[in-house]
Amino acid sequence: MKVAVIGSGGREHTIAWALAKNPNVEKIICIPGNGGTALMKKAENYKPENSSLESIVDIVEKEKILWAVIGPEDPLAKGLADMLTARGVSVIGPEKKAAHLEASKDFAKNFMEKYGVACPKSKSFVDIADAKSYVKTQGLPIVIKADGLAAGKGVVVAHDEKTALEAIDSFMADKSLGDAGNTLVIEDYLQGVEISVLAAVSLSEKTRLDGSSCIVPFIPARDHKRLLDAAQGPNTGGMGAIAPVDDLSDADWQAFLDRILEPTLKGLIAENMDYRGFIFFGLMLTKDGPKLLEYNVRLGDPETQVVLPLMDSDFFALCQAIHDGSLQNFSLKWKNAYACAPVVVSGGYPGSYKTGYEIDLSEFSKHSDAGEVFFAGAELVDGKLRTSGGRVLCVSAFGESFDEAREKAYRGLETISFTDSFYRKDIGLPGAAEST
């Protein structure tokens, strides 16, 4: 059986790695994939002729692929799942209508409020003057969010009025994020610590009719967004992740299920959405319990790189259960272990950086217990791995304790080298995660 994995990041490498464990998955077509997937025995990279969704569909049809897992948000928001489904492909990824939960923060906030999802108070604006007036009357700190997809660059936590007003001008007047900033969501600031909960979703016309629609949460994880140790420096796409997290109480977990997950499921059903894939709950743990900051309509990155290695169930079997409507009865099992995955980036990231440096894995290969390398910004050129992006790779390792997992991950990471590499040294330690 052939399975397509759409995307080129560390998340997609991890998905391909997890799929490859199933003996019935004979070939994984990665579109476009990266240097890591190029090295996999079961995988093959296919570069589309252009950036259009049609070019992806053409590859899937040419290769007679019957299953596809869509990793990134952009093709989901543009309707790739709908296009592939119409051609008879079993797709893991929500339809375009459901993907709007991530593609538009305004839509997502209206959805949360409509169905009683616990979240911070917010208001949306299309007028610059109105947005600025609201900031001046609400008090500080305050959170400014661009409505559309902005590759993680569309959120500003403003601790002073000047920063808030500059963010509004940047997004709405200067069009720094293009059309993503045409509408702004201005949100109350929450004090707490963030966690991520990934989950499988099985919702279709069939499951709505027979009452088997469900969302099955995974173990909680935590991303570390800031570039520098102690949660300092600029925001990034993620400098490392851990799973599970120990500061989520049983009471907070139950509150998440009752006040966030269940209302979300009810809302998806009420809106007649076809959602067969994964959802990401970005949560803030506050003194009043967990609050939902955002939905992502796919697996998180780098959270996937710690969560999937801890999954003790077959990942492709999980995908099958999601799609055929048997998820409710699927036995999802987890290793009794911890995972840690620090990320290595190119010097200068998240600003400008150089690419094309050779990645030396010779020492890493000598350590069988040093974890798994998942590549993102890397490509295979003439048989050699070279850097091709900002976030280059991570080393994911697990152990019976968090300390063991962390020690293994960093031991492996320290054996990998390329010119001008950089990584944080405190992933998972107290104070390392951003507290806002």
One domain for residues 349 and 320: no
Domain assignment of residue 432, yes or no: no
pLDDT over threshold 70, residue 421: yes
Question: What pLDDT is attached to residue 139?
Answer: 86
Both 197 and 321 in one domain: the answer is yes
**Is 299 part of a structural domain of the chain?**
yes
Q: Which domain holds residue 138?
A: 127-182
The alpha carbon of 190 is separated from its chain's Cα centroid by a whole number of angstroms, namely 21
Structure tokens at 337: 């272990």
Q: What is the pLDDT of residue 436?
A: 53
Domain-located, residue 213? yes
Percent of the chain that is helix, strand, coil (3-state, to 5): 35, 30, 35
Find the largest Cα–Cα distance for the chain.
Answer: 61
Cβ burial of 1 (10 Å; 0-12, 13-18, 19+) is: middle
Q: Is 318 exposed, middle or buried (0-12, 13-18, 19+ CB in 10 A)?
A: buried
Give the whole-angstrom CA distance, residue 287 versus residue 67.
43
Q: Which of 309, 329, 349 is the last residue of a domain?
A: 329
Q: What is the CATH number of the domain that holds 164?
A: 3.30.1490.20
Q: Which amino acid is at 393?
A: L
Examine residue 68 and state whether it is found in any structural domain, yes or no: yes
195 and 163 assigned to the same domain: no
Q: What band does 391 get if pLDDT is binned at 50, 70 and 90?
A: very high
Residues 152 and 268 in one domain: no
What whole-number percentage of the chain has pLDDT above 90?
Answer: 91
Specify whether 366 is located in the same domain as 312.
no
CATH number at residue 391: 3.90.600.10
Do 266 and 364 fall within a single domain? no
Q: What is the pLDDT of residue 370?
A: 77
Residues 6 or more apart in contact with residue 195 via CB below 8 angstroms: 220, 221, 222, 245, 248, 283, 285, 290
In a domain, 111, yes or no: no
| 122 in any annotated domain | no
Cα 289 from Cα 245, distance rounded (Å) = 16
DSSP 51: S
DSSP letter for each residue of 302-320: TTHHHHHHHB-S-HHHHHH
Residue with tokens 């780098």: 302
The whole-number pLDDT of residue 220 equals 98
Q: How many CB atoms lie within 10 A of CB 362?
A: 9
CA distance 372 to 430: 24
pLDDT at residue 44, as a whole number: 98
Q: What is the CATH number of the domain that holds 318?
A: 3.30.470.20
Q: Is 140 left (phi over 0), alpha (psi -120 to 50) or beta?
A: beta
Q: Do 285 and 319 fall within a single domain?
A: yes
Contact predicate 312/335, CB 8 Å:
yes
**209 and 311 housed in the same domain:** yes
pLDDT the model gives residue 234? 87
274 with 354, same domain: the answer is: no
Give how many domains the chain has, as a whole number.
4
From residue 248, give the alpha-carbon distance in Å to each of 86, 197, 289.
41, 11, 10
185-194, 289-298, 318-327: the lowest-pLDDT one:
185-194
pLDDT tens for each residue of 142-193: 999 999 988 777 888 899 999 999 999 999 999 999 998 999 999 999 999 9
Quick one: tokens of 424?
A: 């944080």
pLDDT for res 154: 87
Round to whole Å and give the CA distance between 343 and 3: 27
Structure tokens at 258: 């009752």
User: Are 226 and 276 within one domain?
Assistant: yes
Within a domain: residue 117? no
In a domain, 160, yes or no: yes
By CB atoms closer than 10 A (0-12, 13-18, 19+), residue 332 is middle
240 plus 143 within the same structural domain: no
Tokens of residue 16, six digits: 């391909």
Residue of 137, 131, 251, 260 whose CA lies nearest to 199: 260
pLDDT of 133 higher than 70 = yes
CB 216 within 8 A of CB 199: yes
**Among 266, 301, 250, residue whose Cα is nearest residue 280:** 301
Q: Indicate the pLDDT class of residue 366, thresholds 50, 70 and 90.
A: confident
